[in-house]
């Protein structure tokens, strides 16, 4: 069962790092695995659940854009729908493979699951950082100029981030900057298309893991999350997410690549330390 301290820590962590290109899903999962001794698949489930709070942040900050989506002919509606389709194309196979084969892989390799998980997340973070180093300076294009092909590629890039350790915001913002959008519009689009992606991820997670609505708690797989803690966590995550998002929108540039490489290198070093401990013990 999730306790109050863990819930508060998760809320603060998610509210801040969701918008940074360091894979909040990967970082939260590592936190759960290495400090709370939670199973890797359960850790990913918990990390996904925390995204509800940051999804609310996006809905609030960009509420005018979501009201505009009532017009099916609006450009933001077209981009979001096509990007969501692209996300489904890449994310669903990745999630199914990860869910179905993770335990088999760890058994074949005879390596502790938490150690392998930590190393993979670190490597993927560094890989994301290296990809980001090649991103161009921000361009001059705006949302209205995004083509359907670009929206589909954007969504497929977002879907790849279903892997813990691949940064969703890093991947999507890089694609948008590559095609010449301004940083503000790149951030705006990246935030907005995260909403249907989070909803879809949660629905898929509920289907794959199973869930039960009890009088006092929500149960997903084997995770028990009391309602009062769930509401508290989502609320704190949403508030911190709004503050962080608005702050980022005011910045002219962000060192996305450095964030990923630093966090990825730190994660790999953690995995090496865990490996040494495992051998010694």
Asked if residue 239 has pLDDT above 90, the reply is: yes
3-state secondary structure of 74: coil
| Amino acid 153: pLDDT | 94
| Amino acid 165: pLDDT | 66
Give residue-wise pLDDT tens across range 135-158: 666 677 888 899 999 999 999 999
| Amino acid 264: pLDDT | 74
Residues 170/125, Cβ–Cβ less than 8 Å: no
| Amino acid 137: pLDDT | 62
| Amino acid 152: pLDDT | 96
Half-sphere CA count of 212, side-chain side, radius 13 A: 9
Half-sphere CA count of 149, side-chain side, radius 13 A: 1
Question: pTM for the full model?
Answer: 0.74
Q: Which helix (H) or strand (E) holds 255?
A: none
Distances (CA, A) of 76 to 36, 136, 148, 190: 40, 24, 11, 11
> What is the distance between the alpha carbons of residues 191 and 105, in angstroms, rounded to a whole number?
33
Tokens found for residue 224: 């028990």
User: Which carries the bigger pLDDT value, residue 135 or residue 10?
Assistant: 10
Distances (CA, A) of 171 to 74, 102, 132, 141, 222: 24, 24, 8, 18, 31
3-state secondary structure of 224: strand
- Tell me phi and psi for residue 177, to 5 degrees: -70, -35
Q: List the one residue out of 64, 87, 92, 85 whose CA is nearest residue 76.
A: 64
**Largest interatomic CA distance in the chain:** 62
| Residue whose structure tokens are 């993979």 | 120
Residue boundaries of the structural domains of the chain: 4-280
């Amino acid at each position: 069962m999730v306790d109050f301290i863990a819930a508060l820590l998760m809320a603060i962590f998610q509210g801040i790092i969701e918008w940074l290109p360091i894979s909040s899903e990967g970082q939260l999962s590592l936190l759960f695995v290495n400090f709370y001794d939670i199973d890797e698949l359960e850790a990913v489930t918990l990390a996904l659940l925390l995204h509800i709070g940051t999804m609310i942040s996006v809905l609030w900050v960009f509420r005018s854009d979501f009201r505009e989506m009532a017009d099916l002919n609006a450009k933001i509606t077209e981009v979001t729908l096509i990007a969501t389709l692209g996300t489904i194309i890449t994310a669903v196979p990745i999630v199914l493979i990860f869910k179905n084969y993770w335990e088999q892989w760890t058994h074949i390799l005879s390596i502790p699951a938490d150690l392998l998980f930590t190393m993979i997340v670190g490597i993927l973070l560094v890989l994301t950082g290296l990809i980001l180093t090649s991103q161009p300076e921000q361009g001059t294009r705006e949302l209205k100029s995004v083509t359907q092909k670009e929206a589909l590629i954007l969504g497929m890039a977002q879907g790849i981030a279903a892997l813990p350790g691949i940064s969703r915001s890093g991947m999507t913002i890089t694609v948008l900057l590559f095609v010449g959008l301004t940083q503000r519009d790149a951030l705006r689009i990246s935030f907005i298309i995260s909403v249907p992606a989070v909803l879809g991820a949660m629905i898929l997670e509920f289907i794959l893991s199973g869930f039960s609505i009890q009088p006092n708690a929500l149960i997903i797989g084997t995770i028990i999350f009391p309602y009062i803690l769930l509401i508290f966590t989502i609320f704190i995550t949403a508030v911190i997410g709004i503050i962080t998002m608005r702050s980022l929108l005011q910045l002219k540039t962000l060192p996305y690549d450095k964030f990923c490489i630093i966090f990825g290198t730190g994660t790999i070093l953690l995995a090496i330390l865990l490996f040494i401990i495992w051998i010694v013990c």
